[in-house]
Amino acid sequence: MTYSNQILYVYIHLINFRDQSLKKSKIKLLKNHWRIIIIGGGQAGLATSYHLKKLGEDFILLDEGEKIGDVWRKRWDSLRLFTPSQYDGLPGFPFPSQYNTFPTKDEMADYLGEYTKHFNLPVLLETRVIKLSKTGSSFNIVTSNQTFTSDVVVICTGSNPSPFIPDFASEIDKNIFQTHSSQYRNPDSVPGGDTLVVGVGTSGVEIAIELSKSRRTLIAGKPVPEIPYDPFRYVPWFNWWFASNISTIKAPFFFQAKRFFKGGTPLIRFKLTDLDAAGVQRLPRVSGVKNGNPLLAGGKEVSVLNIIWATGYKPDFSWIDFDVTDERGWLNGERGISNVTKGLYYVGMWFQFALTSALIGGVGRDAEFVANHIKNYRR
């Protein structure tokens, strides 16, 4: 490492961990060209940083948050991971919790911060990427602080880039409170009264059960598949091994399932019967609006005071100024390597290689694969 880079690493370390109050206007880097730039400081970005640092690569990680782990801190208060702690660690640093316990979202956020400190990863916070473009063999990254260039870019912005709410939601009566599940915090964050949760995925089911303790709650939508037993209660090592090594894109059935899993995972810790036990009324999917109220498939209106859209997420790579996505809007490539743009990589997407690719405990393998490929990449 050159003398100037040594100074830069120390400077970034001070920015991230000794003076969180430093204003953006005061952040000035000693150079703007890097061999590798990682975009996104979640688990995928940190795992990729770990492996690139082991390989001695010249890189920096950009993240728009004020603190590492903020993406977890902003989720609903009662959220717990559905994988036990022994499968919630990143490479080289196991999650510090009792075996077979399920970490809270704040525990996970703190762990990511400690991970960054432990390995002294070069992270630049409060730096939002505005535009990514390409000129010849170099990438140009315009951020809220300055413009960078690099030979390689790794996109680690996660599998849930942008909340999805159907367009017809704008036609619903303005007196009905509406929010997306990504903005939900706890029952007190939603006004009192009958509440409709739209979406019967993991988030929708968990939120509906929590709300049912304090109000009449309904849930609408086509349920996602559910695993009929708790996969981590009995022989958890086998279930994780199966999800990591058998449920991969190499297996014909799971290769076809890859398209489905880009939209989410099956129900694991909670089941549909848990909704019934909690008194949550199950309804068909919401297909539109009638008289300002949600309209169900079949033509029935639903009168409620609140709606929580647990309708998942959609890809949003509009900040990339060249064509890199498939017909569904997701990054086009194989195992994290873009097949349309040389030097562009990604980590942390659903079913990137296996069912566990977007999970904290599974992202490390994909990050290592991508880091090794980058190591051998030459312009």
DSSP string, 259-325: HHHTT---B-SS-HHHHHHTTPEEE--EEEEETTEEEETTS-B---SEEEE---EE---TTBSS--B
For tokens 């848990």, the residue is: 274
Quick one: pLDDT at residue 70?
93
Q: What is the 3-state secondary structure (H, E, C) of 94-139?
A: CCCCCCCCCCEHHHHHHHHHHHHHHCCCCEECCCCEEEEEEECCEE
Residue 242 within any structural domain of the chain: no
**Are 140 and 276 in the same domain?**
no
**Interior angle at CA 345, CA 60 and CA 9, nearest 5:** 10
**Are 113 and 204 in the same domain?**
no
> Average pLDDT, stretch 260-288?
83
Quick one: pLDDT at residue 21?
36
Spatial distance between the Cα atoms of 141 and 39, rounded to a whole number of angstroms: 10
Spatial distance between the Cα atoms of 351 and 261, rounded to a whole number of angstroms: 7
Residue 258 within any structural domain of the chain: no
Quick one: pLDDT at residue 236?
63
In this model, does residue 354 exceed pLDDT 90?
A: no
Residue 51 within any structural domain of the chain: yes
Express each pLDDT in 45-96 by its tens digit: 999 999 999 999 999 999 999 999 998 999 999 999 878 888 899 999 999 9
Quick one: pLDDT at residue 10?
47
**Are 54 and 171 in the same domain?**
no
Quick one: pLDDT at residue 19?
42
Helix (H) or strand (E) holding 154: strand 147-155
Strands 293-296 and 195-198: unpaired
Of the pLDDT bands very low, low, confident and very high (cuts 50, 70, 90), residue 17 is very low
Residue 285 within any structural domain of the chain: yes
Spatial distance between the Cα atoms of 208 and 197, rounded to a whole number of angstroms: 6
**Are 222 and 177 in the same domain?**
yes
Quick one: pLDDT at residue 20?
43
Express each pLDDT in 127-169 by its tens digit: 999 999 999 889 999 999 999 999 999 999 987 778 999 999 9
Q: Which residue has the higher pLDDT, 259 or 68?
A: 68
In this model, does residue 351 exceed pLDDT 80?
A: no
Residue 241 within any structural domain of the chain: no
DSSP state of 330: S
Residue 252 within any structural domain of the chain: no
Q: Which residue has the higher pLDDT, 249 or 202?
A: 202
**Are 281 and 360 in the same domain?**
no
In this model, does residue 266 exceed pLDDT 80?
A: no
Domain count, the chain: 2
Quick one: pLDDT at residue 100?
83
Spatial distance between the Cα atoms of 341 and 327, rounded to a whole number of angstroms: 16
Spatial distance between the Cα atoms of 272 and 341, rounded to a whole number of angstroms: 43
The answer to whether the CB of 336 falls within 8 A of the CB of 357 is no
In this model, does residue 328 exceed pLDDT 90?
A: no
Residue 251 within any structural domain of the chain: no
Quick one: pLDDT at residue 315?
86
Spatial distance between the Cα atoms of 181 and 184, rounded to a whole number of angstroms: 5
Most confident of 166-170, 201-205, 252-256: 166-170
**Are 86 and 182 in the same domain?**
no
In this model, does residue 121 exceed pLDDT 90?
A: yes
The answer to whether the CB of 311 falls within 8 A of the CB of 199 is yes
Most distant CA atoms of the chain, gap in Å: 70
In this model, does residue 293 exceed pLDDT 70?
A: yes
Quick one: pLDDT at residue 232?
54
User: How many other C-beta atoms are found inside a 10 Å radius of the C-beta of residue 284?
Assistant: 12
* Ramachandran angles phi, psi of 327, nearest 5°: -65, -20
Q: What's 117's domain CATH number?
A: 3.50.50.60
Of the pLDDT bands very low, low, confident and very high (cuts 50, 70, 90), residue 102 is confident
Residues comprising the chain, all counted: 379
Q: Kindly list the distances between the CA atom of residue 137 and the CA atoms of 27, 35, 338, 343, 357, in Å, as whole numbers in the listed order.
A: 27, 12, 14, 8, 29
Quick one: pLDDT at residue 14?
47
Beta-carbon contacts of 223 under 8 Å, excluding residues fewer than 6 positions away, are 200, 267, 272
Residue 256 within any structural domain of the chain: no
Q: What is the mean pLDDT of the chain?
A: 85
DSSP 222-264: PPPPB-SS-TTTSSHHHHHHIIIIISBTTSHHHHHHHHHHTT-
In this model, does residue 369 exceed pLDDT 80?
A: yes
**Are 113 and 186 in the same domain?**
no
**Are 364 and 274 in the same domain?**
no
Spatial distance between the Cα atoms of 22 and 34, rounded to a whole number of angstroms: 23
Beta-carbon contacts of 280 under 8 Å, excluding residues fewer than 6 positions away, are 208, 209, 212, 217, 218, 219
> Average pLDDT, stretch 246-261?
59
Structure tokens belonging to residue 70? 């903020």
Quick one: pLDDT at residue 234?
57
**Are 113 and 136 in the same domain?**
yes
**Are 10 and 43 in the same domain?**
yes
**Are 25 and 143 in the same domain?**
yes
**Are 283 and 306 in the same domain?**
yes
At 130, the amino acid letter reads I
- Structural domain boundaries, residue 200: 163-227+266-313
